[in-house]
Amino acid sequence: MRMRWLTGICIAAVTAGSPPAFANQIQNGSFETGTASGWTLAPSEVTVSSAAASDGSYSLKLQTADGAIASTTQTIPVQANTDYVFAYDINYSSGSTGEVTAKLTFDGLTLKTVTTNSTDGWTRRQTWFNSRGATQIQLNLYATNNFNGLVYVDDFSLETMAPPYAYETWTVDTYKLWAALNAVSDHPDEDKDNDGFNNLYEYAFAGNPTNALNQGTAPTFVKEGNQFMYRCLQRNNDTNLTYCVEVCTNLLSGNWTEAGFATVTNETIGDFNDVGYIVPTNGSGLYVRIKSTRPAESLNDGWFELIAAATNDHRSIIQNTLDKLHKGATLKLFGNFFIRDTLYLPSDFRWILDGSLSLGNGVRNNLDDVGWVGVVQGVTIDARRETGVSEKSGGAKNIDMSGGTYNGNSISNSSSLRFINFVAVTNCYFHDMVITNVSDDNFTLGHVSRSNLCRNIRSAYAISGNALSDKGSHNKWFDCIAEYCLGDDGDGWTPKCRFSEFYRCIGRRNGGPGFGMYCRMDGSPSGTDVGENIDGNKFYACESYENWGGAGFSFNISDNNGIGATIRSNYIEAVCYSNQMSGLYFRNKLTNGIVAANEVNLLCWGNRGLTSTNSPSSIAAGMTTDGGSGYMIKGITGSIVAFDNLQNYDVNLAQASNCTITVYRPAGEVLSRVNRGPTSNIITVTNVSAASPSDPWCVHAYYNATNIP
């Protein structure tokens, strides 16, 4: 393996506000005083040593060959009801048996991180939690009674996690967002529609990069009164984009100079201003052109390349390189890499995988438990799971992660594992990746993750879990696919999120629903479940089909989801067909659960309406509601094209109230079977023979799918 330093350039950077700085609460956490000041040491088996250190010159040394090591302790002041991350470095230098444990005790809760005999050198251990009502925490570091070895520990930290609202609102680069919305590369020189105008031109002058007939609005000369105007559209939402009018007097010389013309803005049209340049009429012959530029951003710490060598574990060299990166750097990995311990990504860098990254190489991994721990409604939530890739302590922002295949190596890993599992990432861009063969969940945005952009991610073969999970808020997903989750409850998507948006996303051929919104907070303990809030999400032009164990879209408040479960104000614009159960399923089995004010725009056909054992279900095969006396499902509105669903009704509002649905029946299709349910519901059936501009999305989707004009 080799590492190469190059000069780096980034075409379009992701920016965000800086989070506030949070001080380390642990006194003398790196032992750089050369003493154990602030700590209460155990007997002579624990000393401060200069023999090894993860950073600096000193660390804490634990060594014995004959049994337990009593606790080394520190009492740490904290703020009540605050999210914290606790972390430290550990190097199990030698020895054959025993465990080293760091234990946190506070407000009746105990958290542990445990390290067994490892040959990985220095590794980072961390855990996330909420302090509940505590104002101090007791830290204990000790070894169990069968310990035999030498261990160094260093760089203890306890820092508050930056809350989501500490960052600016979503500020992903405008050009990247435009490229994602148009499903084109963010490379400015690409010309996907082969019309002779590259992406940057079409972006700058209001073109469509996927339609050769729409090349934007070209500049024009007009005469206004006694003066000539050179007019063009200019973007008003990208401060990195510049426009410059240039002139020359002789095209053969090619000596263009900036014109310096006075300008006037005639009007604003959405993201563009109509700008006029006043051209002087002084008798001199001039040639005029406009140039738009978007300068590349220089990266201040270059470009690292790692090339995979023959070994069964590349984790140390990858992590060591990540730890050396400064803001704006790029790390590119070539070849097939293996990791046996968790990788932690920093903020403000670019990751490119050209090859694959696999969890282990024929061996069991030693992965950290990563996830959020806290208290909600008096219940301790522990969402930690074994994880392959996550972010560094305290959360991360502005990661641009792309490329390659991520192989979970399910045979060699526990059945409860998440490969890419972020807890608190903000303003990041994840794109053009494949995640596959994971024993549980493939790709997760955790509940403190917000304002991230995900594009062109394909996630397949979660052996017992889910492919793509969003448990955060205000995230955006474009053209992502979740498929072939093999377990009976293997959902393609699990959007347990708030105010996130999904564009042209697909869930197909999964053991559970294509999109499974199960309203139980991740990490709830059995028997004391806490409800999740799945509110304000938007699904645009999505598809869910051939899911052999569940519905296309399942919004599900089960009877064990717990207090606080809500499904409100979601918009579902989708095609759902050939699913085992319903196309779209709203369920509420809690008296205090809320399913309300959701809007649909559906094309729904051929769903079987069967249970997972192929028995006829009592619910509808098309769009259905499943509640009960006193269970609230109300206020579903919108439009649906529904036909040829195999069991019961195409639209069933029997267990909902105050709903208003228009059912469109295309010419040639069997009349949809509908069940209005309570008298407060209104179902209107309307015949259509072709899509008119005023028809809803579902009607246009039907005629596009059937190629009927």
Q: Using CA atoms, how far apart are residues 116 and 95, in angstroms rounded to an integer? A: 10
Check residue 161 and give its pLDDT.
Answer: 62
Between CA 665 and CA 692 the distance in angstroms is: 14
CB-based contact 352:331 (threshold 8 Å): yes
CA distance 258 to 242: 13
Of the ranges 195-209, 288-302, 444-458, which is most confident? 444-458
Please give the Cα distance from 346 to 325 (Å, whole number).
Answer: 8
Per-residue model confidence (pLDDT) at position 295: 65
Between CA 338 and CA 342 the distance in angstroms is 11
d(CA 275, CA 267): 8
Tokens of 708: 């009927």
- Widest pairwise Cα distance in the chain: 99
- Report which secondary-structure segment, H or E, holds 200: helix 199-204
Tally of CA atoms within 13 A in the half-sphere of 112 that contains its CB:
10
Kindly state the helix (H) or strand (E) to which residue 181 belongs, with its residue range.
helix 174-181
Is the per-residue pLDDT at 358 higher than 60? Answer: yes
603 or 246, higher pLDDT: 603
Sign, CA torsion 301/305/310/313: positive
Q: In which residue are the tokens 């529904």 written? A: 642
pLDDT tens digit string along 287-298?
Answer: 888 888 876 543
Residue 280: name the closest of 244, 227, 243, 230 by CA: 227
Q: Regarding beta strands 220-224 and 123-130, do their DSSP bridges make them parallel or antiparallel, or are they unpaired?
A: unpaired
User: What is 113-168 written as a DSSP string?
Assistant: EEEES--S-SEEEEEEEE-TT-SEEEEEEEE-TT-EEEEEEEEEEEEEPPPGGGS-
Query: Is the pLDDT reported for residue 6 higher than 50?
Result: no
Of the listed ranges 98-112, 283-297, 498-512, the least confidently predicted one is 283-297
pLDDT digits (tens, 9 = 90+) for 367-415: 999 998 888 878 888 999 999 999 998 899 999 999 999 999 887 787 8
Mean pLDDT of the chain: 85
Residue 434, H or E segment: strand 429-438
Query: With 60 as the cut, is the pLDDT of residue 516 above it?
Result: yes
Q: Is the pTM of this model over 0.85?
A: no
Residue 699 has phi, psi (to 5 degrees) of -70, -45
Predicted confidence band of residue 19 (pLDDT cuts 50, 70, 90): very low
Cα distance between residue 208 and residue 201, in whole Å: 10
- Cβ atoms 568, 601 nearer than 8 A: no
Residue 62: enclosing H or E segment and its boundaries? Answer: strand 59-64
Q: Is the pLDDT of residue 3 over 60?
A: no
The domain ranges of the chain are: 46-161, 522-709
> How high is the pLDDT of residue 92?
83
CA neighbor of 295 nearest in space, from 344, 239, 379, 255: 239
Q: Is the pLDDT of residue 5 over 60?
A: no
Between vectors from CA 101 to CA 100 and to CA 107, what angle results, nearest 5°? 170
Residue 1's pLDDT band, with cuts at 50, 70 and 90, is very low
Mean pLDDT is lowest, of 239-253, 299-313, 338-352, 448-462, for: 299-313
Pick the closest to residue 529 from 557, 554, 553 (CA basis): 557
543 φ, ψ to 5°? Answer: -135, 145
pLDDT at position 323 over 50: yes
pLDDT at res. 686: 95
**Residues 6 or more apart whose Cβ sits within 8 Å of residue 316:** 120, 121
Above 80 in pLDDT, residue 119?
no
Q: What is the pLDDT of residues 625-684, one digit of tens each?
A: 998 767 789 999 999 999 998 888 999 999 999 999 999 999 989 889 999 999 999 999
Cα–Cα distance measured from residue 545 to residue 551, given in angstroms and rounded to the nearest whole number: 9
- Is the pLDDT higher at 16 or at 86? 86
Whole-angstrom distance, CA of residue 507 vs CA of residue 398: 28
Considering only the top CATH level, what class is 46-161?
A: mainly beta
β-pairing, 396-397 vs 329-339, is unpaired
pLDDT score of 180 more than 80: no
**What are the pLDDT digits (tens) for 416-430?**
899 999 999 999 999
Cα–Cα distance, 483 to 443 (Å, whole number): 13
Sign of the C-alpha dihedral computed for residues 615, 620, 625 and 630 taken in this order: negative
Q: Can you give the pLDDT at residue 265?
A: 81
Phi and psi (nearest 5°) for 504?
55, 35
Q: Kindly tell me if the per-residue pLDDT of 127 is higher than 70.
A: yes
Q: What is the pLDDT of residue 60?
A: 93
Cα 441 from Cα 491, distance rounded (Å): 10
Residue 293 bridge partners (DSSP): 242
Distances (CA, A) of 531 to 252, 450, 593: 72, 20, 8
C-alpha closest to that of 312 among 390, 412, 410, 401:
412
Q: Is the pLDDT of residue 18 over 50?
A: no
Half-sphere exposure of 568 (CA within 13 A, CB side): 8
- Residue 449: band (very low, low, confident or very high) from pLDDT cuts 50, 70, 90: very high
Contacts of 384 (CB under 8 A, 6+ apart): 127, 128, 369, 370, 371, 372, 373, 523
Asked if the model's pLDDT at residue 170 lies above 60, the reply is: no
Percent of all residues in the chain with a pLDDT value above 70, rounded to a whole number: 91
The DSSP string of 528-545 is S--B-EEES-EEEEEEEE
